[in-house]
Each structure stands twice: as structure tokens, then as C-alpha cells.
Amino acid sequence: MQSIVQPSIQPLNRQSKIERFIHGPWPFILPALFGLVFMRAFPFVWQIWLSFTNMRLGRPGEFIGLQNYRVLFQNPVFLSSIAYTGVFMVATVAGQMFFGLLLALLLEEDFKGKAVYRMTFLIPWIVSGFVAGILWQLMLVETRFGMFNALLDLMNVPPVRWLSNARNAQMSVIMVYIWKGLGFSLLLMSGGLKIIPQEMIESADIDGASYLQKLRLIKLPMMKDIISVNIIFSVIAALNSYETVFVLTGGGPGGATSIIALVMFNTAFGDGRNQLGRGSAIGVVMFVVTLIFVIIYVRKTNFAKGYGKP
């Protein structure tokens, strides 16, 4: 173990193990690490154990092996939740990437008021998930006095059931999450565009490249890494979405918008049966899928060689 303590002050070889520990980095790191391991990492591990039990609230529960997983993956409610979660993830991430890139490209152009525009684009991202749910619930009121239906009414279109029709509700939830998460994607995309060397663009200009050619042949390839990082973050966020959809639809109608986190909350705390063991199994599924993306990220950013500089 190396220490930065100057040998002239305290010769290394004279120090006992304890002294070396005290003068090393660990006294600074351990308090944070303890909190982290105890309150954050330990629950991940404990949850794996819980998922093998039939624990309910106020009842310790016994070991039942893989029973929870078996029941879950045969349960049509859970399977349809997984199916919607998949669609939801793909659609929101695709939407966030596409519009995030579009707006980042727009903000790269030269025109006045860009700073103000950028700020307005980021507002949904700073709004809490809870408030976003409330906002959109009011926008999507289904009588003709809802904002969206009032607009349709102007064009003589009959009111749409935005949230009480299963298909529409699924689309509305996706739309709201794209609205909410776009700002983050925009920030990363803007960062990615900034690191492209200006000379490359200029030499392409001299060769007479069109805008789309420059985008396809220079910008996108140069942004490959930042786009993958962006996708990884957005996928993790989408997979772990809860509050906006909880407030907006509560998972309804008839479970149509029950993304996986809602099923976990409902299984453990919502439906009166409080099956903590089975809920834990859902949590483990979410954990494992998230972990896969985290590992991809860590490898992608070459984390081992320095502080994860991409």
C-alpha cells in the first residue's frame, strides 16, 4: 500500500499497520462507503434472498425456492406487463433519441435566443414525475373541456378517450415520457456535437457535402459513443419509471399501462395481500436487467483505465 505521507515526516517502514491505515485514504472513504454498502448495495443482495421466500407483510415467510419466479412467468398479468414495458422502453428511448438529436442539431445552428430556447426545452426534465403526471392528466381530460380535446373540437373532431381507452392510454403514457425525458437526451447530444472537430465539418463543406451527408457520414459516426451512453441511460430510466405513470393512469385502464415497477409496487404494497417475496422477485428481474446495461456502460467507457472517460 502506498501512502502520500512524506517519508521525511513519518518513515514508512516504522509505521504499524494501523498507523498506515489511519494515514491512508480509507478513513476518508469508509464513512461514505459504509452508507453506500449498507443502505444501497446490501438491499440488492438481501432482495435476492427475499425473492426465494413467500414473505408477506408481518409474516416472516419461508424458503420456497424458485416458486415466485415460476408463478410470475406463468402469470398473464405479469407477462403482459413485461410486454408493455418492452414496448414502452423501445418507444420512449427511440423518441427521446430522435427528438433529442433533432433539437441538439437545431441548437447548433446560428440564431438568436438559443439560450432561452434551450432553457425551455429542459423544463419538463426539471419538473418532478409527480407534477408531470398531474399536468398531463389535466391536459388529457376526456370531456371536450380538456385541453387536447378542446383543440380537436375546434377542428370538429369528436373527443378522444386519451386515458380510458387501453391503446390510447398506452400511447399517451409513452408520449408523456418522451416529453419528460427529452431534455436529458438533448443535453448529451449537444455535448456529443460539441466534441466534433470543426475542421472535419469545414473540409466536408469544401468538398460540397450536403447537410444530410455531413450528418450521416461525419456527425453520427463521431457521436456513436455518446449516443450509446445516452441510450443506456435512457433505457435504465425507462425500465425504472414509476411515478408519472402511477399518477397519470395508475397502471390502468385494466392494467394496460402497468409497467413493471407498478406491478412490483402493487404486489408488495398495493393490493392488500402484500406479497413482499413475490414483489422482490420482480425487483430482482428489474435489478438484473438494469445491471446488464450498467455493465455494458462500464465496459464501454473503458472504466478500468482511469475514471471512466469515454
Site for other proteins in 162-221 (CB under 8 A): 179, 182-184, 187-188, 191, 195
- Please select the residue that binds other proteins; options are 1, 18, 155, 212, rule is CB under 8 A: 1
Q: Is 146 in the site for other proteins (CB under 8 A)?
A: yes
Would you mind telling me the total number of residues written for the chain in this entry? 310
Q: Which member of 91, 247, 256, 259 binds other proteins (CB under 8 A)?
A: 247
- Closest distance to other proteins from the beta carbon of 96 (Å): 13
Provide the grid cell at 222: 463521431
Neighbours of 39 (CB within 10 A): 9
Count of residues binding other proteins (CB under 8 A)? 102
Q: Which of 89, 97, 226, 248 lies at the binding interface for other proteins (CB under 8 A)?
A: 226
Nearer to other proteins, 84 or 136 (CB): 136
298 forms part of the interface with other proteins (CB under 8 A): yes
Instruction: Give SS3 for 76.
Output: helix
* Part in contact with other proteins (CB under 8 A); list of ranges 71-79, 82-90, 143-151, 160-168: 143-151
Shortest distance, position 46 Cβ to other proteins, whole Å: 4
Backbone angles phi, psi at 59, to 5 degrees: -135, 125
In the complex with other proteins, the residue whose CB is nearer, 245 or 256, is 245
Residue with grid cell 415460476, as numbered in its chain: 70
Kindly indicate which of the ranges 1-9, 68-76, 162-170, 216-224 contains the residues binding other proteins, using the contact rule CB under 8 A: 1-9
29 belongs to the binding site for other proteins (CB under 8 A): yes
Considering the complex, state which of residue 91 and residue 103 has its C-beta at the smaller distance from other proteins: 103
Q: Per CB under 8 A, does 13 bind other proteins?
A: no
Q: Which stretch in 63-71, 84-92, 109-117, 216-224 sits in contact with other proteins by CB under 8 A? A: 109-117
Stretch 35-74 residues interacting with other proteins (CB under 8 A): 35-36, 38-44, 46-47, 50
Q: Which is nearer to other proteins, 255 or 279 (CB)?
A: 279
| Alpha-carbon span 281 to 58, nearest angstrom | 18
Among 65, 76, 113, 272, binds other proteins (CB under 8 A): 113
**What span, in angstroms and rounded, lies between the C-alpha atoms of 143 and 157?**
12
Residues in region 258-287 near other proteins by CB under 8 A: 261, 264-265, 268-269, 276, 279-280, 283, 286-287
Strand partners, 12: none
Q: Does 27 bind other proteins (CB under 8 A)?
A: yes
> Cα(17)–Cα(43) distance, rounded to whole angstroms?
32
- Binding residue (CB under 8 A) for other proteins from 150, 157, 217, 220: 150
Place of cell 439560450: 115
Eight-class DSSP state of 13: G
| Residue 93 C-beta: closest distance to other proteins, Å | 15
Asked if residue 193 lies in contact with residue 219, where contact means CB atoms within 8 angstroms, the answer is: yes
Nearest to 219 by CA among 118, 105, 296, 116: 105
Q: How far is the CB of 65 from other proteins (least distance, A)?
A: 19
C-alpha cell at 139: 391536459
Distance CA 224, CA 118 (A): 23
| CA pair distance 193, 105, nearest whole angstrom | 8
Q: How does DSSP classify residue 63? A: B
Are residues 215 and 105 in contact, defined by beta-carbon separation less than 8 angstroms? yes
Q: Does 157 bind other proteins (CB under 8 A)?
A: no
Q: Are 245 and 265 in contact, with CB atoms under 8 Å apart?
A: no
